[in-house]
């Protein structure tokens, strides 16, 4: 069964400290759903072409269905409610290859 991934790109982060509550709650939601952070906060980024050299977070789940369910979970919904006003990110759930 193909794995599932959350891929988040944060085009602009004016005040990273404003994400602290979201990061804590999102981390709990990911862990509760069996997700594993493969790359993320504080990691180095080299962007090419139309890429943006800002934070990228990559989280792996055992299946696409598990990744989608984690996003819909009550625990993650609580985390989403803590994203600051005016905050922007490009978030995708993708299916891996076998």
Question: Looking at residues 15-37, what average pLDDT do you find?
Answer: 92
Residue 25 banded pLDDT, cuts 50, 70, 90: very high
Identify the domain containing residue 30 by its residue range.
Answer: 4-95
Q: Of 19, 5, 95, nearest to 57 (Cα)?
A: 5
pLDDT > 90: percent of the chain: 62
| pTM: predicted TM-score of the whole model, two decimal places | 0.89
pLDDT of residue 14: 77
pLDDT of residue 10: 85
pLDDT > 70: percent of the chain: 100
* Highest-confidence segment of 15-24, 33-42, 45-54, 62-71: 62-71
Q: Of 17, 86, 45, nearest to 7 (Cα)?
A: 45
The CATH number of the domain where 55 resides is what?
Answer: 3.30.70.100
Give the number of domains in the chain.
Answer: 1
CA 66 to chain CA centroid, nearest Å: 14
């Amino acid at each position: 069964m193909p794995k599932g991934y959350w891929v988040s790109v944060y085009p602009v982060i004016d005040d990273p400290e404003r994400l602290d509550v979201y990061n804590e709650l999102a981390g709990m939601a990911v862990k509760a759903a069996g997700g594993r952070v493969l790359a993320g906060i504080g990691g180095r980024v080299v962007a090419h072409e139309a890429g943006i050299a800002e934070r990228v977070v990559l989280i792996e789940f055992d299946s696409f269905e598990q990744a989608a369910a984690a996003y819909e979970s009550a625990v993650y919904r609580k985390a989403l409610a803590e994203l600051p006003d005016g905050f922007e990110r490009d978030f995708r759930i993708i299916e891996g290859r076998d």
